[in-house]
Amino acid sequence: METKPAIICHLDMDAYFAAVEIRNNPHLRGKPVIVGGSPNSRGVVSTCSYEARRYGIHSAMPSAEAYRKCPHAVFVHGSYSAYTYTAERLRELLAEFSPIVYPASIDEAVVDMSPVCDNFSQAAELAVEIKETIRSRLQLTTSIGVGPNRLVAKIGSAMQKPDGLTVIPPDQVVERLSPLPVGAVWGIGPVTQQELHRIGIEKIADLFASAKSKVLSSLSGLIEHVVERLTEITDALELHDEDYLEKSMSHSETLAQDIYDPEQVRALLLLLTDKVVMRLQRKGALARTVGLRIRYKDWQTITRDRTLAAPIQDFLTAYQTVCSLLPNSQIQRRGIRLAGVRLSNLDLICPPKQIDLFATSSSSDSSSALSDAIRAVRDKYGDQALRRATALIAPH
């Protein structure tokens, strides 16, 4: 029996954080809105509205530079709880259209339309319905790409932003993608682009041509791999495809002023660990590796990590591990301008807990119950509803 090819839909929410802020505060509509740090701080732009992008503002730009480009922009610190809440509603909505939905990130999702569509014409009609439902229920817009595999669908979702729809059937892949720059291919970053440009490959058409001519280069393997992924006709997706599971989770904070007090740094790390562990728990995941990132006053950055004997999901173990990685003497001498906490080596499918028949203590159960209670309150009232006391002295 012949396997049915996949019809893949990739959704990319338009200026997501800014769009949620504007939806929740209609007075911001039509204004250049920047979500990120204050222009008087060392913060950076997380995202911005399309009105702000007209001034050349983009993600990861220092907030001070964004202010210089657009002094009348409205800076919003942002509410991660609002973004995660809306993302959950989006996933629930998408599950009404297909039984297979992957949350690729907080503002992206992949939907396998294969179980509900027989061809790309039907998929295009369904994509329009998804867009209209998102606009009606969430008051947000999304750009959608539909293709024979996830890479083509992701490229398509970026081709007509904002509020776009691009459908690329298998027989149109080469024609539709050829004029695009190689940087449009997800996974080809600036460094790889430079190397490709060096050997005369600037557009996706050049990739296709190079793969056929078997160009001799250290990048030949990469070129063949990318072209194979662009032109493959995939089977319907498996429900737990590892390609679309998050490989790590992290939170970091750039400080308005350098700090030299290890106690303040530990308070900041407590706040950051609390945030990332909450994400881990909401994902239903376990982490085996805990990492610390520190940037000193002189901009030197260090990263340290520790892989644990068993995967974890609890806050206390994660926090104690992070603190054990902290270079206390260096902090007092050199000062800290940024700190970050990272959980990696993830297992996104938690195994059932095994009960210890001979346990005399229920501390782990108590910790789990406490975590569940904290998460329930925050899910209902927002992440600021409960805060750990020590984190109140954390600098910002």
Quick: pLDDT tens for 118-158: 899 999 999 999 999 999 999 999 999 999 988 899 999 99
The full set of domain ranges for the chain reads 8-13+83-231, 16-81, 245-393
Q: Which CATH architecture has domain 245-393?
A: 2-Layer Sandwich (3.30)
pLDDT at 226: 81
Q: Which CATH architecture has domain 16-81?
A: 3-Layer(aba) Sandwich (3.40)
pLDDT at 369: 61
Describe the crossing of helices 220-231 and 150-157 by its angle, rounded to 10 degrees.
80
> What is the rounded CA–CA span in Å between residue 286 and residue 353?
12
Q: Phi and psi for 235 in degrees, rounded to 5? A: -80, 165
Q: Which residues are catalytic?
A: 108
Does the pTM surpass 0.85? The reply is: no
Residues facing 112 on adjacent strands:
8
> What is the rounded CA–CA span in Å between residue 80 and residue 102?
20
pLDDT at 81: 82
Parts of the chain with a pLDDT under 70: 1-4, 213-219, 234-247, 348-396
Helix then strand then coil, in percent of the chain rounded to 5, is: 45, 20, 35
The token pair at 176 is 């539709």
pLDDT at 27: 95
> What is the rounded CA–CA span in Å between residue 188 and residue 196?
10
Residue 189: how many other CB atoms lie within 10 Å: 9
pLDDT at 109: 92
Q: Of 190, 115, 104, whose CA–CA distance to 153 is shortest? A: 104
pLDDT at 353: 43
Name residue, tokens 């990272």. 342
Residue 158, helix vs strand vs coil: coil
- CATH of region 8-13+83-231, choose from 3.30.70.270, 3.30.9.10, 3.30.1370.30, 3.90.1150.150: 3.30.70.270
Cβ atoms of 291 and 341 closer than 8 Å:
yes
Rg (C-alpha) for the chain, rounded Å, is 23
The CA–CA distances, whole Å, from 160 to 20, 92, 145, 182, 217 equal 20, 25, 9, 17, 33
Q: Where are the alpha helices (DSSP H) in the chain?
A: 16-24, 50-53, 63-69, 80-94, 120-138, 150-157, 173-177, 190-198, 204-213, 220-231, 262-283, 315-324, 328-334, 363-381
The CA–CA distances, whole Å, from 170 to 6, 106, 173, 195, 251 equal 10, 28, 6, 29, 39
The CA–CA distances, whole Å, from 173 to 82, 156, 168, 231, 300 equal 37, 10, 6, 7, 44
DSSP 8-state secondary structure symbol assigned to residue 244: G
> What is the rounded CA–CA span in Å between residue 272 and residue 319?
9
pLDDT at 42: 74
